[in-house]
Chain A
Amino acid sequence: MIETFERPATESPAKKSVAGPVELPPSWPTAWVPALSLVEVKATLGEFEVLREVTFQAPKGRQTIIIGPNGAGKSTLIHCLLGQIPHEGRVFFDPPGPRLGYVPQRPDFDRFLPLTVGEFLALGLSRRPIWLGLGRATQVKVKAALELVKAGSLYGKPLGGLSGGETQRALLAAALLSEPDILILDEPATGVDVYGEQLLCEILEGLKDSFTVLMVSHDLATARAHGDWVVCLNRRVVAQGRPEEIFQPQTLSATFGLHQGLIFGSATGSPSSDSAAGPACSHG
């Protein structure tokens, strides 16, 4: 979504050591700084304990991918981060009280509302009411954000008429316009065709090193291709590490259950750890 969330600074106790409230995992590169640390986060929905003692870090300025099967609590975790679901445990941000840009999974919205993509992006950006038209500065910013997500041609199109992939890109542009400290993407590849997935890959590559990205995905190929850091979640953290550590048959079957090893065997077969090349991405 386009809103930014200013978490109250009280919820991120900056007085405590920001550098590491918990010990960093062994494979964590020394040059990295955690932008986000979760310590024993627990969440229950009704009677059901969705997350138990989730502890992990996400490096600043890099892409962290949370993978896990359906029902692993991935989306719940994101809602905890956004402060939307009550939870136990602690969440540390560096800097405290960051702006969070959030792109939801399969957004549910009124598709018949007359609104162009450009107007939609201007809503969160400018106070000038859209019925007076967009100001020049707003137009320039909005078009630039759309170019960044390779969606410049969508500017004048009705928001309700977009395909799944186009909607995702429009929402991503909206999130980027809010200049977030951390960009949170919930399953950005859901409902996107192969071409859209390809585009998404290229966009994520373009964002590399400029934003802290936290992305939830059940798509292992995307995680392998783009993740700087991968967290395997199945209601608790099964493993976290660099992609080349994580994409081992043992780790994957521990996260996803038995037969996933067969399905993803080919994806894990390649020894390449070059983060730019992966099965979902054939750049160039």
Chain B
Amino acid sequence: MVLLQSLYDQLAFFYEPMFMRRAMVALFLLSLAVSGAGVLAVSRRMAFFPDTVGHSALAGLALGLLVGLDPQVAVILFGLGLGLLIVFLSRRAKFGADTSLALVFSGAVALGLALISRRPRVTAGLSRWLLGDILTVGDEEIVALLGLDLIAYLIFLGLYNRLILTSVFPTGLTRQVWVDYLFGAFLAVVSVLAVQAVGVLLATALLVTPAATSRVLAATGRSFFWLALVFSLISGQLGLWISYQPGVNASAGATVVLTSLGFLALAALGRRLVGRV
């Protein structure tokens, strides 16, 4: 916490209000983990994963209340379970990732609504879980994001090749079942934490858009990873800065999303002029 405080002091150069400095750090940490996770999710056609898991927060919360679990723990556990269920469905029932995601998405949202509608009072704190706001991020969330980065880079260092290999040939006769499930669990945790920090919209956009932008420009697997990281970092920070300008004064999350989409459009144009890198 002392370290965080001194970091915030350093960032006073960029922004006056403390919530902007926290947002800056949170977006930076989130970009580190989410860009690589996005590259893998896009390669494995699981781009809708964070959306599905993010919306499951509703059902997770309601179930947590029923069982008497801490909401934070309940949401993470439920998201994790759904992540594994999605992998199971796309592997065993052979629906493919897209259909599995749609099935789990509607099921989880419906379950959440059904449970919540029985206890109307719960809905009060709900918007925070679905629409989390980058400007209200607290120090605990920043520490959680730091932990997420640690897990993410352990996975990127240890399993990246296997995960890419099985996504080049999704119908391939792979025997490494546990790798699929581990990745599903990882992506679920990334999604839940990202959604809590910045909301469903920004979490999905940050996960998918830089990876898609990089995919347009990259010629090698190496540049695919690094370009996604660069685009994720730049659109996060630039979007935050734009949203803070007096003339703009727009929602920070939405501006970050629009900025990252702007880079995607530029990349598509740029590739015609310059080619891939």
A116→B169 contact, CB < 8 A: no
Contact with A along B235-247 (1 / 0, CB 8 A): 0000000000000
Determine if A158 and B219 form an interchain contact, defined as CB atoms under 8 angstroms apart.
yes
Does A133 contact B222, Cβ atoms closer than 8 Å?
A: yes
Which A residues are CB-close (under 8 A) to B222?
119, 130-133
State in angstroms the CA–CA spacing of A233 and B225 once bound together. 47
Does B10 reach chain A (CB closer than 8 Å)? Answer: no
Residues of chain B within 8 A of A275, CB atoms compared? none
Query: Contacts of A229 on B, CB cut-off 8 Å?
Result: none
A130's partner among B158, B161, B169, B171 (CB-CB below 8 A) is B161
What residues of A have a CB within 8 angstroms of the CB of B73 in the complex? none
Closest residue to A116 on the B side, CB-wise? B220
Are A112 and B221 touching (Cβ within 8 A)?
A: no
Q: How far is the CA of A159 from the CA of B221 in the complex (A)?
A: 10
Contact (Cβ within 8 A) B168 A120:
yes
Q: Is A122 an interface residue (CB 8 A)?
A: yes
Question: Do A3 and B168 touch (CB < 8 A)?
Answer: no
On whether A115 and B168 interact (CB within 8 A), knowing A102-B173, A122-B161, A126-B161, the answer reads: yes
Is A123 touching B164 in the complex (CB atoms < 8 A)?
yes
* Chain B residues with CB below 8 A from A82, complex form: 173
- B125 interface residue (CB < 8 Å to A): no
Q: Tell me if A1 and B172 are in contact (CB < 8 A).
A: yes
Chain A residues within an 8 Å CB radius of B156: 129, 131
Given contacts A124-B165, A159-B168, contact A129 B160 (CB under 8 A): yes
**Which of B36, B157, B167 interacts with A113 by CB under 8 Å?**
B167
Question: Is B219 touching A109 in the complex (CB atoms < 8 A)?
Answer: no
Q: A2 and B165 in contact (CB under 8 A), knowing A114-B224, A116-B219?
A: yes
Which residues of A sit under 8 angstroms from B171, Cβ to Cβ? 108
Q: Tell yes or no: B8 within 8 A of A by CB.
A: no
> In the complex, what distance in Å separates the CA atom of A126 from the CA atom of B158?
10
Residues 118 to 151 of chain A near chain B (Cβ within 8 Å) = 119-120, 122-124, 126-133
CB nearest neighbor in A for B172: A1
* Contact, CB under 8 Å: B221 / A116: yes
Least Cβ distance of A129 to chain B in Å? 4
Contact A5 B160 (CB under 8 A): no
Complexed CA–CA distance, A79 and B171 (Å): 13
Contact (Cβ within 8 A) A119 B157: no
Question: In the complex, A100→B176 CA distance in Å?
Answer: 15
Cβ of A270 within 8 Å of any chain B Cβ, yes or no, is: no
B63-94 vs A, CB cutoff 8 Å, 1 = contact: the mask equals 00000000000000000000000000000000
- Please classify how large the interface on chain B is, using the bins under 10, 10 to 19, 20 to 34, 35 or more: 20 to 34
The answer for the CA separation of A128 and B159 in the assembled complex, in Å, is: 9
Q: Report the separation of the CA atoms of residues A158 and B222 in the bound assembly, to the nearest whole angstrom.
A: 12
Q: Which of B157, B162, B221, B226 contacts A115 (CB 8 A)?
A: B221
| A113 to B276 alpha-carbon distance, docked (Å) | 13
Interface string of B121-145 (1 = CB under 8 A from A): 0000000000000000000000000
**Complex: chain B residue closest to A129, CB-CB:** B160
Interface presence of B43 (CB below 8 A):
yes
**In the complex, chain B residues 145-191 whose Cβ is within 8 Å of any chain A Cβ:** 156-158, 160-162, 164-165, 167-176
Complex Cα distance, B254 from A255, in Å, reads: 66
Is the C-beta of A25 less than 8 angstroms from some C-beta in chain B? no
Interfacial chain A residues near B168, Cβ < 8 Å = 109-110, 113, 115, 120, 123, 159
Residues of A within 8 A of B219 (CB): 114, 116, 158
Shortest B26–chain A CB gap in Å is 24
Check B161 against A129 for contact (C-beta < 8 Å): yes
User: A126 vs B165: C-alpha distance in the bound complex, in angstroms?
Assistant: 11
Measured CB to CB, the closest approach of chain A to B161, in angstroms, equals 5
Whether A129 pairs with B157 at a CB distance below 8 angstroms is yes
Answer yes or no: A153 CB below 8 A from chain B CBs: no
- Which of B43, B173, B221, B226 meets A3, CB within 8 Å? B173
Q: Is the CB of B172 within 8 A of A123?
A: no
A84 located at the interface, meaning its Cβ lies under 8 Å from any Cβ of chain B in the complex: yes
- In the A-B complex, the 5 residue pairs with the closest CB atoms: A131-B225, A129-B160, A114-B218, A123-B165, A114-B224
Q: List 23 A-B contacts (CB under 8 A).
A: A2-B165, A5-B175, A6-B175, A84-B173, A102-B173, A109-B168, A109-B170, A110-B167, A110-B170, A113-B164, A113-B167, A113-B168, A113-B224, A114-B220, A115-B164, A123-B162, A123-B164, A124-B161, A128-B161, A129-B161, A131-B160, A133-B222, A159-B168
Beyond A3-B176, A110-B43, 19 additional contacts (C-beta under 8 Å) are A3-B172, A3-B173, A79-B173, A82-B173, A108-B169, A109-B170, A110-B167, A110-B170, A113-B167, A113-B168, A113-B215, A114-B214, A114-B220, A115-B168, A119-B222, A120-B221, A130-B222, A131-B221, A159-B168
